[in-house]
Structure 1
Amino acid sequence: MSLVGGPLLVVVGIALVVVTVGAVMGGPRWGPRWVGVVQRTVLVLSAQVVALVMVGLAVNDWGSFYGSWSDLFGGSTGVVTTAAGGHSAWDESHAGGGAPALQPTHWSDAKQYTQKGELGSVELAGRRSGQRARALIYLPPQYFDAADSSARFPVVEVFPGYPGEVQQLVTRLGFPSALLDGIRAHRLRPMILVMLNPSLVLPRDTECTNVPGGPQVVTFLTQDVPADLHANLRVTSGGWGVMGQSTGGYCAAKLAMMAPHQFVTAVSLSGYYNARHDSTTGDLWGGSTKRRDLNDLDWRLAHLPAPAISLLVTIGSLEPGIEGLPGAQQFIGLVRPPMTARLVVVKNGAHNFHDYQSVRGTALAWLSDHLGAAGSQQPAFQAQGRQGDPQPG
């Protein structure tokens, strides 16, 4: 039974009712008095445990923090680490010249592609890094325009937080739907969304790092994913964007700063800008202070030339500490030309999906305005008639 969804909640809910009624009624009365005391104690404790499990499952179902039992207990995640030289499962699937054979979802059927676009799933393989990851890819309606079948589209890589699920970028944050609405209203340019989890070896949080002797996550996301998409889709070779929430926000800012030749713009939704080291990450730097510094975005801005990128930083006013509003303000204060940045503070905002959604339109508009043409760092499109942007802090 799946860890997320209604069936498990129903089963646990029934169990909660049963043990709660048993605890209230005292259970069957038989045997010595001490037996009854033990029975009732067990029933009360069981009711409490089941209630906690019920709350945990409900919160996980709402937030999609763990998508499967293997995610929860650290087993197989469906992401495979391979030796370099692997090839994508879709390399041979679009010899006809159209869109590759993405594994279909319920987003749309083939007859609706020219109106809604396509949302499909595919495995991306890393020739340089040896990593693999499954991604959800959204192709806008314009991709299927027969009158302009040679057009190439800029790409935005989109990341959830840790240990979030890629699906929540669709179900909770609604990025494909919001992009489609913006395209139809002529507020947003057509772009391809590549939604994938940057935590390639769950349950470990690699913080989008090339770990010495371990997963080469920066290489996968900045070189392998672009190469795989360029070989299989009509995408521009540069001028891409990258966006993420929380840990995904740190990844987005970090990848743009490290690979400005590929990513000219980025959006960090409640991200942070320091190099994290805790029980979920382990040693990401191989004991090297230099490696740690190079993965600390404040340090990079203070000690290295600023990259020619544009960055949107959003944060809730109630998010505290170095990973909250004070940390975001500190980072913004270090930005200097040719890098540009804007800080948007969500009034009374916190670290949750509701507040990410409140800046979703601003984030997509920023990307639309700042995505470049192939090989360019200049905007190729200016949105029109945008409304409802939160005020910058």
Structure 2
Amino acid sequence: MLALTGFPLQIVASLLAVAAFVATMWLWPRFGSKSWKAVLGRIGAFFATQLMVIVAMALIANSYFGFYSTWTDLLGTAGGNGTVVDHNPSHAISVTGTQKVYSAQGSAEDRSGLIQQVEVAGARSGLRSDAFVYLPPQYFQPDYAKHRFPMALVLSGYPGTAEKLISLMQWPTTTLEAINTKQLQPTILVMMRPSPIANRDTECMDVPGGPQVETFFTDDLPKAMSSGYRIAPQASAHAAMGDSTGGYCALKFALRKPDAYGAAVALSADYAVSNDPTTGDLFGGSEQLKQENDLLWRLRTQPAAPVSLLLATSYNEDNYQATQNMVAAFKAPTKLSTITLNSGGHNFHTWNREIPPALAWLNRQLVVPQSA
């Protein structure tokens, strides 16, 4: 079967749409009479052409924006609440594939780094999820053989795929450029979707009676990565970043679990969540749990967490006013910074403009203790 996001499927769908249009033009004179057969022929030809055009456009849009990565993801036949896994941390990471990073320095590992596709198994949550790990060139250089690196978890929006963090948002290549220009210290990226559960937007919550997603990202993932790679285990060396839903998750991880992530970057994020058809019941009927996952409420009412936050928005973004409310609400020892573009929407182009300054900001927040 052709891959859902593959270029061949888009070509086939586009050719079928063109063929349907040509066939309609060729057959249209035959449907010129007023008989019921001719009327049905015109209706059928019209809708068949429209359907093929819509399918082709939907496939192209899905491939570009990364809403669904596979057929099982689209049809909701993949995944579940996860399985219980071995608690041995050495079994938490399994490498399933690699891909080179091409740059002006070449594609050698010690020049441009390497992307590994891995599966992460959560010991506490019982969840599993795929991830792409970008190892910077220094990871393979002799001078850094005993060095432990900082880690940045990068989350896509929902729905979305981790692949788009590489191909459209270009996190690895932008990170490499920032490292080469001394804007960012050598840092390992862990690129993932914000929900390990197929076709459910969990908003990175520990859902009552359901998947424990926050536990997976704040407990299982840092431990697994530190055991599988030369990553410093301290929260001061860990950051969470993301766009849209991924940005909300990043902020929540830092504010709710500062012992896991010491910094967070949110691009075009919302700051609260509610139940909708994509989430299902997130709160188990508990208004208190809903309130505890409202980030503005946390800044206003809860003890301040010793973390650094970066919020990115634009003057015409939907979250602009909410971002100003967040700025007005934070208090020490929380540190808060913003990026505000003159214009920009909820899209990859806007986020690509925000990533370079976000990485430069991140460089000032990540601290790898000397003992590491």
Name the TM-score, length of structure 1 as normaliser. Answer: 0.87
Identical columns (%): 36
In structure 2, stretches of 5+ residues that fail to align are none
What letter is aligned with 2:60? A
SS at match of 2:346: coil
Larger mean Cα displacement after TM superposition, 4-13 or 121-130: 4-13
Deviation at 1:290, TM superposition (A): 1.3
1:158–1:307: structure 2 CA closer, same or farther, 3 Å change rule?
same
Residue 119 (structure 2) aligned to one of 111, 116, 123: 123
Q: Distance in 2 between matches of 1:307 and 1:276?
A: 24
Q: Distance in 2 between matches of 1:10 and 1:248?
A: 31
Aligned length: 366
Equivalent pair of 1:84/1:129 in contact (CA under 8 Å):
no
Q: 1:150 aligns with which of 146, 149, 166?
A: 146
Q: Which residue identity is paired with 1:370?
A: Q
Partner of 1:310: 308
Q: Does 1:20 align with 2:14?
A: no
Q: What is the deviation of 1:229?
A: 1.2
- Contact kept, 8 Å, 2:107 with 2:113, in 1: the verdict is no
Q: Deviations over 1:203-252 (max 9, x none)?
A: 11000101111111111101101111111111111111110000000000
Out of 49, 63, 72, the position equivalent to 2:65 is 63
**In structure 1, distance between residues paired with 2:93 and 2:325:** 48
Answering whether residue 270 of structure 2 is matched by residue 249 of structure 1, we say: no
Conserved in 2, the CA contact under 8 Å of 1:264 and 1:372?
no
**Where in structure 2 are the equivalents of 1:215-226 lying within 5 Å?**
215-226=211-222
- Note if 1:340 corresponds to 2:342: no
Kept after mapping to 1: 8 A contact 2:202/2:279: yes
CA separation in 1, counterparts of 2:172 and 2:182?
A: 15
Query: Which residue of structure 2 aligns with residue 184 of structure 1?
Result: 180
Partner of 1:264: 262
Q: Is the 8 A contact 2:67 2:161 kept in 1?
A: yes
Higher helix share: 2
Conserved in 2, the CA contact under 8 Å of 1:88 and 1:125?
A: no
**Structure 1 Cα separation of the partners of residues 328 and 55 of structure 2:** 44
Give the 3-state SS of the residue equivalent to 2:262 in structure 1. strand
Matches of 1:53 and 1:89, distance apart in 2: 45
Cα separation, 2, equivalents of 1:319 and 1:73: 32
Contact 1:267 1:312 in 2 (8 A): yes
Distance in 2 separating the partners of 1:222 and 1:3: 31
2:206 to 196, 204, 210: 210
| Distance across 2 between alignment mates of 1:111 and 1:43 | 51
User: 1:156: Cα distance to partner?
Assistant: 0.5
Cα RMSD for the two superposed structures? 2.5
- Please list the CA deviations of residues 28-74 of structure 1 after superposition, one character each: whole Å capped at 9, or x if unmatched: 84999432222122011111111122221221122111111222221
Does structure 2 conserve the Cα–Cα contact (< 8 Å) formed by 1:80 and 1:132?
no
Assess, with a 3 A threshold, how the Cα gap between structure 1 residues 230 and 44 changes in structure 2: closer, same or farther.
Answer: same
Q: Return the alpha-carbon distance in structure 1 between the equivalents of residues 12 and 328 of structure 2.
A: 52
Secondary structure of 2:9 counterpart: helix
* Kept after mapping to 2: 8 A contact 1:90/1:122: no
Matches of 1:148 and 1:176 in 2, distance apart?
19
What secondary structure sits across from 1:263 in the alignment?
coil
1:237–1:374 CA contact under 8 A, matched in 2: no
SS of residue matched to 1:244: strand
TM-score for the superposition, normalised by structure 2: 0.92
Question: Following the alignment from structure 2 to structure 1, what is the Cα–Cα distance between the partners of residues 170 and 355?
Answer: 9
Deviates more, 1:231-240 or 1:80-89: 80-89
